[in-house]
Amino acid sequence: MEHNELTVTIKSRKLQGNVYGARRIDDAGRINLEDYRPIDPVPSSKASVKPGPIQHGTPLMPYIPKQPSPPPPTRSNPIGFP
């Protein structure tokens, strides 16, 4: 019985073949791009890629320093006390 369980375990570990039907790379210069999705952003998308130089504007989250806290009130000595 142990022999059959071992055989089943070994058979289940076999790797499946080419599931997606991608082709092999025949030459070093030829690359198959079937595994990569094409880049086709939605035209109205803000994340679309636009040709041209990179424009540097104001940062999305600029550094704004905090205002210093006011000094603590000073205690004045009442007249007549040292």
pLDDT of residue 49: 62
Task: Give me the pLDDT at residue 18, please.
Answer: 52
CA angle 14, 16, 21 (to 5 degrees): 165
List, in order, residues 6 or more apart from 58 with CB less than 8 Å away.
Answer: none
Each of the 82 residues of the chain gets a pLDDT tens digit; together they read 455 555 555 555 555 555 555 555 555 566 666 666 666 656 665 655 667 777 677 666 778 888 888 888 887 766 665 5
> What is the reported pLDDT for 42?
64
User: pTM for the complete prediction?
Assistant: 0.17
The per-residue pLDDT for 62 is 72
